[in-house]
Amino acid sequence: MIYHNVLFKFGAAATDAQIKQLSAALEALPLVIPEIKFLKMRENFSNRGRGYAYMLASGFDSMEDLKIYSEHPAHVRILEQQIKPILDEVVVGDI
């Protein structure tokens, strides 16, 4: 199993509605990208989050499946239209 985790630090102008819509869009991706085994985006409740207020956790059977997800038009569309406009910083970890 490949675990793909993303920590998001959104800009001050990001609204709760934008983040809620983003979470819903990301969590709907398994319906259109079958290579995703699970995907959740939630508020990071850790007191060590260093401003990274949200985290995406997802799983894939293989590196190839992760690549398919990364390049899939539905994922790219969310990245370009919903994430980048409100993003301040991001940390990605894959294991």
pLDDT at 78: 98
For residue 51, what pLDDT is reported? Answer: 83
CA dist., res. 70 & res. 72, Å (int): 6
Q: What was the pLDDT predicted at 83?
A: 97
The predicted structure's pLDDT at residue 49:
83
Instruction: Count Cα atoms within 13 angstroms, Cβ side, for 30.
Output: 13
CA distance 48 to 39: 22
The DSSP 8-state label assigned to residue 29 in this structure reads G
pLDDT of residue 22: 98
Q: Please, is 49 exposed, middle or buried when counting C-beta atoms within 10 Å of its C-beta (0-12, 13-18, 19+)?
A: middle
What whole-number distance in Å separates Cα of residue 13 and Cα of residue 33? 30
Spans in the chain with pLDDT lower than 50 = none
